[in-house]
Chain A
Amino acid sequence: MDGRRIVKVWRLHHRRWVAEKLGPDAASRELEFTRKILCLDAKNYHAWSHRQWVLQALGGWEDELAYCAQLLEEDVFNNSAWNQRYFVITKSPFLGGLKAMRDSEVDYAIEAIDANPENESPWRYLRGLYNDENEAWLNDSRVHSACLRVLKAKRNFKFALSSLLDLLGLGFKPNQEIKDAITSLRTSDSGEAGSDSDLANSVCSILGREDPMRANYWTWRSSKLSPQAAEV
């Protein structure tokens, strides 16, 4: 909405109108066009929307996953590229869909998390890979192992903690190592973490300290805890 828009939106609409008339041949040209824009502005919202429209209406999926990987190599914090990756793995006719891709994508996301645990994008992506399949998410040991690694490093652990909080809310039973890691992050001396709901409360109070901007939210989350609280 500011004066320095790179892409005049009405031109994209016109391109879409023309491309629709030309059919699938227009796919590679339209993809090249958006690639040029994204080279200058890798998060340009309208360029990404147009690119998604091209893929769905005209095709050209073959190189899209590689394109996402390239963008994420250039900037692993590029949330648009993470979003596009999710779009590709769920919708590309060449990749078999979310369930087929999940295993390798979990590894990919966790690699990014290990490198930069403060990066919100791979955390959201990881959670999104499981969608509403809560049991599968709970039972994938790679997920809580990743949380544990980040907690033990004692740096940039707010997303690790909030992931654990979500897991606990769904009935996750943490092992002793995780309990100890959480305990060691507590500063108050309110005794050992007993039941899992004490643990969840501990997590909330640590989050209130580590993520003070959202202190009221973490207090509210604490008030919403119950032994088998469903998140949704």
Chain B
Amino acid sequence: MEDDRDRGLLYDSDPSSPSLSPPRPFALTFFDRERHVKFLEMMYHMLPRPYQSQEINHLTLAYFVISGLDILDALDRVHKDAVADWVLSFQAHPRSKADLDNGQFYGFHGSRSSQFPSKDNAIFTPNGSHLASTYSALAILKIVGYNLSNIDSESMLTSMRNLQQSDGSFMPIHIGAERDLRFLYCAAAICFMLNNWNGMDREKAKEYILNCQSYDGGFGLSPGSESHGGAAYCAIASLRLMGFIGDDCLSNASAPSSKANIRSLLDWSLQRQFADGGIQGRPNKPSDTCYAFWIGATMGILGANKFIDEIALRSFLLTCQSEYGGFAKSPGVLPDLYHSYYGLAAFSILGEAGLKPLCLELGVTEAAATGL
């Protein structure tokens, strides 16, 4: 119907309601790159002021913004040197070599409050750098073209080993009690970006990943946990980064090197695409924008993204596109940075014109991953 160049907007106003009532939610029939660039630019200028969230740390929010702009091929909006300096200011440095034996992890803090904790919340605030913020930091540095060989990676990797448990899993910080696939993924990505596997025992990590495969073929975040789209990504991307999955995965679905049941993962993952075209994270749950990336990227790594109905998925994602720019988790809801980033990443996987292709297992553009 509409030409893609036509910037007409569809307002679906309810004929039975009075003319003063607001129109129904915004619905564009095309991917509106400019709108997303403006949204992320606004977010970029709001850094480093906090985005009031306790769940997602500051550096991770910055990663969503910077990587998002990179995917949109709008990195010129970013002052790369300033960003690199800002990120580097979060790095934790050991005072001496002796510090490396104290069990702490010397990576990157997630926020200033983590870096300089107030004495009120000394017990509850993570005291020390965090694997997720370290992943985010290194990813941002790669995106803005910072030379990672300038980083003290020896301390980081040596101390990162302290975070790996006997079952192969990773804690995110040295005083954390939780451990799951997310942090294992961060560790693998960190080693990959620094091109140095001294930071972890890959064999043990692989063992833990395989123990996370559930009875239904999917992966849970920890052994016994419910299969979940995000966990599938962490599992497969980690195996890929660590070198346990090759390009010929599909034809070798029972390749002895990985021992993961790829066939049943494939079947489980593909059933995650729901009748509305969107992708759910678990059976019998609603579709959510972010799983278009978590499941879409997993399928891409396995060479199976042709099995996803891309037309239907794209339609669903367009209904989650916000008039403010960015994406919401589902239609009619306000956008947030997390769903915006993964919505953009999903459009890149779908081959949207003007977007840069991704290095799926690393979570940055191919250009950033190869350092070009």
Name A residues whose Cβ lies closer than 8 Å to a Cβ of B: 1-3, 5, 8-10, 12-14, 16-17, 20, 43, 45, 48-49, 52, 56, 77-80, 83-84, 86-87, 91, 119-121, 124-125, 127-129, 131, 162, 212-217, 220, 230-232
Contacts and interface: CB of A to CB of B under 8 A. Distances in A.
A17 B263 CA distance: 38
B261 A232 contact: yes
Given A49-B221, A86-B214, 5 more contacts: A13-B177, A48-B225, A124-B217, A214-B307, A232-B253
B178 A13 contact: yes
B312 A52 contact: no
A31 to B, nearest CB: 16
Interface string B218-246: 00111011111000000000000000000
A141 B51 CA distance: 57
A78 B284 contact: yes
Contact of B268 (A3, A12, A124, A213): A124
Contacts, number: 114
Main SS class of interface, B: loop
B85 interface: no
B290 interface: yes
Main SS class of interface, A: helix
Interface of B: 53-56, 123-124, 126, 176-178, 180, 214-217, 220-222, 224-228, 253-254, 261, 263-264, 266-268, 270-271, 273, 275, 277, 282-285, 290, 304, 306-307, 309, 312, 329, 336, 338-339
B228 A45 contact: yes
Contact of A120 (B264, B277, B284, B339): B284
Nearest to A211: B271
A10 B124 contact: yes
B83 to A, nearest CB: 23
22 contacts: A1-B55, A1-B336, A2-B329, A2-B336, A3-B336, A13-B177, A13-B178, A14-B123, A45-B226, A49-B221, A49-B225, A52-B224, A80-B282, A83-B225, A120-B271, A120-B284, A124-B215, A128-B214, A213-B273, A214-B273, A232-B253, A232-B263
